[in-house]
Structure 1
Amino acid sequence: MLPFSGQNLKIQMMQLETERLILRKFKETDVERMFLLDSDPEVMKYIGLAPLTDIKESEKVIRMIQQQYTDNGVGRLAVIEKESGLLIGWSGLKLLTQEINGYVNVYDLGYRFLPEFWGKGYALESAKASLNFGFNDLDAQTIYAHAHSENEGSNHILKKLGFQKTGEFVEPDGTCFWYELKRENYFTS
């Protein structure tokens, strides 16, 4: 049994809200903004994947995330800026179902935003909402994250959130840092 089975109704209706953002499940109508995100070379620089070149690839990504909602009860969420009403990126937790750095079936925090929305605090704001959801609603004891060693922005955000670097692993595109945040450390920081 997966750790979230008792929370299925709450997860099915999942939408998180912050002062400036709405985090909601992806819809098929998000495909154009998702393609804008995933076709941007700056966004994809530290992901280990080439920028997408066909909008049909973004359709597949959205279907994959929607399948994660069904299979795992959780997945990355579309981030909507309240002021503009635009999808500006994605953020949230997903269940790692394939091993990364020796870990599987653990919650992983991630985020990705369009460059024009970098430096506005949106990654931090959305990550805090996702961590609160993970620790409070999913009753997670530890949440993990990883970032490319050269991605200074992501590494800074993870440290600011209270994540501790606990290891490194090598991917085809370089070294990644592995982080973890324990529940008791999040609520006391």
Structure 2
Amino acid sequence: MQPFDTARLHCRPFAESDAAGMFALDSDPAVHRYLGGIGGRLLTEPAQSLEMVRFIRAQYVANGIGRWAVLLRATGEFMGWAGLKLVAGPINGHHDFYDLGYRFRPHFWRQGYGHEAAQAWLDYGFKTLRLPQICAYADAENAGSRRILEKIGLRQGNEFIESGVRCVWYEAANPGPEK
């Protein structure tokens, strides 16, 4: 798994040294506003973030993919994470699908970073990993996240309930080789 850059972001596999950044991210109630039961729990102790990093790193070994740390290229600051993960399911009747996700610290919101990361991971999934399909889902009330998914070309599907949260399903098929 080779790290890669976008215009403003550096994406790389998580390291245990990212635990403090993960704690800052996942202990923030604003970050968890639309996650409810679908995105994990609000962290209350720094040790929990190290457990989370180790859990993600185990996904790399088990599945060859997982969420990656996203750093601001200009400064190296931990912004959050983005990437693909293999989800066994069932979620919305789907099993064994690749889920596109992203989560950033609030001071990085509304600057196009989420779109930039999501687009990069969609491209990585289709062009590098050659996945046949990429899916995502978001809280139906999370207009910002839903806008990103639609802007990168995922098609909106049905609404469904996941862990008591009304969600919207998105997916895209690999368009194949570029001409």
TM-score of the pair, normalised by structure 2? 0.93
The answer on whether the counterparts of 2:71 and 2:78 sit within 8 Å (CA) in structure 1 is yes
The SS at the match of 2:85 is strand
1:99-110 aligned within 5 A = 99-110=90-101
1:173 to partner: Cα distance: 4.1
1:50, distance to aligned residue in structure 2 (A):
4.0
Structure-1 residue corresponding to 2:148: 157
Q: Cα offset for 1:169? A: 1.3
**Number of equivalent positions:** 176
Distance in 2 separating the partners of 1:42 and 1:160: 23
Indicate the SS of the match to 1:43. coil
Structure-1 residue corresponding to 2:9 = 21
Partner of residue 166, structure 2 = 175
In structure 1, stretches of 5+ residues that fail to align are 1-12
Instruction: Specify every segment of 5 or more residues in structure 2 that has no aligned partner in the other structure, as ranges.
Output: none
- Give per-residue Cα distances to partners, 1:142-173, cap 9 Å, x unaligned: 10000000001000101111111111211234
Structure 1 position 132 matched with structure 2 position 123: yes
Distance in 2 of aligned mates of 1:126 and 1:82:
12
What letter matches 2:76 in structure 1? Answer: G
2-side partners of 1:136 and 1:184: how far apart? 10
- The equivalences for 1:21-170 within 5 A come to 21-48=9-36, 49-170=40-161
Question: C-alpha root-mean-square deviation of aligned residues, in Å?
Answer: 1.7
Aligned partners of 2:10 and 2:71 also within 8 Å = yes
C-alpha deviation, 1:105, in angstroms: 1.3
TM-score, scaled to structure 1: 0.88
Partner Cα distance (1:102, 1:29) in 2: 36
Query: Do the aligned partners of 2:91 and 2:162 also contact (CA within 8 Å) in 1?
Result: no
Distance 2:4 2:66 in 1: 13
Partner secondary structure for residue 184 of structure 1: coil
When you count helix as a share of all residues, which structure comes out higher?
1
Equivalent pair of 1:16/1:129 in contact (CA under 8 Å):
no
- Give % identity: 45
